[in-house]
Homo-oligomer: A and B are copies of this chain.
C-alpha cells in the first residue's frame, strides 16, 4: 500500500511531516506501507539528514516546486498551481499511483481538489469532513466539520450513513449511536433543517438516538454527531481554542503566587497529561468522506505524532475498504 503525504502542508512543514513519516515507519502497527512524500525535494532531504534517515524506511519523494499558502483560494490550486504538493498528491491518487493522500495544508484547497479531481462516490450528494473528538468514553466523530455550509435534510441523512459506516469499520463499534446536534433533547426542538433531517434518519435502520445538545458533545452520548458544516466548523474551532485558552488562563493564575509556582512544579506531569488530553491535533486526521479515494485532512498545527496517527487512519481506511462500504450503504438507503 502506498500513502502520499503533502510534505509542504501545515504550520510546521516539512519538519513535522517528515518526522511524522519517520515515526510511522518505526511503528509496529503501521507495517507494509510505502510513504510517498510530495514536495520540495531539497527541503525534504534536508529534514531527512537532520532526522538520520536509515535505509530501512520505505519512503520516497516526488518533487514539486509550487507552494500553496493557507490564504490561497482553492481555485488557485486547481487552475494556477498544478505543480503544488496538493495538486500533485491528488493527481497521484486519481491515477491510482497511490492508495491514499494526507495533507495538513490549506483545507479548502484539499477539499476542492479532491471533490473535483477525484469525484464523488455514486449516490453521494455532498462529501463531508468527519472530525474525531476525544470523549470520556473514547473517540467519536462529528460531521460535517466544514465542507458544506448550507445543507438539506438529505445531506444530513447521508452524513449519518457515512458516519455510521466509519465508526463501524474504523472504531470497530458494531452499532454506533447516531445523534443530531440541536438545541434540546426533545424531538420538537431544533431548526427546520434538523427537524426534517430527524424524520429522514428515523425512517432508516440506523441506531438514531435523536438530538443531543452542545453540552453533550464531549460527554460521549453519541458515537456519530451529525450537523451542517457551518455549525460543525464553529463547534470545532471553538472547542480547539477553548482548550488552548483555558490552559493559558490556568498558567496565568499559577504564576501569580510563589506557593502556586512551587505547587505547579510538583504538578508538572499532571499538567502535561492534561494538556495532551485536550489537544485534538493528536487524534490524527479528519477523513473527507464521500469522495472516490481516501483523503485525510490534518490540522495545520499537526505534530509529528498527529501525522503518524493520520497515516494509521489512512491505512485503516484503505484496508477496511471503507469507500466500498459507504457506496453499498448509500445504495441500500437510496433504494428504501
Q: Interface residues, chain A, CB within 8 Å of chain B?
A: 146, 149-150, 181-183, 190-192, 194, 213-219, 228-231, 233-243, 245-246, 249-250, 253-254, 256-257, 259-260, 262-267, 269-271, 273-274, 277-278
Task: Report A133 CB to chain B, min CB distance, Å.
Answer: 11
Secondary structure class of chain A's binding surface, majority of residues: helix
A5 to B216, CA, bound (A): 30
Task: Report A182 CB to chain B, min CB distance, Å.
Answer: 8
Does A241 lie within 8 Å of B215, measured CB to CB? Answer: yes
Task: Report A226 CB to chain B, min CB distance, Å.
Answer: 13
| Residue of chain B at shortest CB distance from A255 | B270
Q: Assess A262 versus B266: contact at CB under 8 Å? Given A234-B235, A241-B215.
A: yes
| Residue of chain B at shortest CB distance from A228 | B191
Does B234 lie within 8 Å of A181, measured CB to CB? Answer: yes
Closest 10 CB pairs of A and B: A263-B266, A214-B237, A214-B238, A215-B241, A263-B267, A214-B234, A253-B270, A149-B191, A215-B237, A260-B270
Contacts of A250 in B (CB 8 A): 250, 270, 274
Q: Assess A183 versus B263: contact at CB under 8 Å? Given A269-B257, A270-B257, A278-B249.
A: no
Does B267 lie within 8 Å of A234, measured CB to CB? Answer: no
Copy tally for this chain in the complex stands at 2
Q: Contacting A245 at CB < 8 Å: which of B192, B218, B240, B245?
A: B218
Of listed A216, A230, A231, A259, residue having the most chain B CB within 10 A: A230
Contacts of A192 in B (CB 8 A): 149-150
Does B270 lie within 8 Å of A249, measured CB to CB? Answer: no
| Residue of chain B at shortest CB distance from A194 | B230
Does A213 lie within 8 Å of B191, measured CB to CB? Answer: no
8 chain-A/chain-B pairs, Cβ below 8 angstroms: A183-B229, A183-B230, A216-B241, A249-B278, A253-B271, A254-B267, A263-B266, A266-B266
Q: Contacting A238 at CB < 8 Å: which of B190, B238, B256?
A: B238
Contacts of A267 in B (CB 8 A): 254, 259-260, 263-264, 267
A121 to B259, CA, bound (A): 54
Does B274 lie within 8 Å of A233, measured CB to CB? Answer: no
| Residue of chain B at shortest CB distance from A135 | B245
Task: Report A233 CB to chain B, min CB distance, Å.
Answer: 4
Contacts of A239 in B (CB 8 A): 214, 238, 242
A5 to B43, CA, bound (A): 67
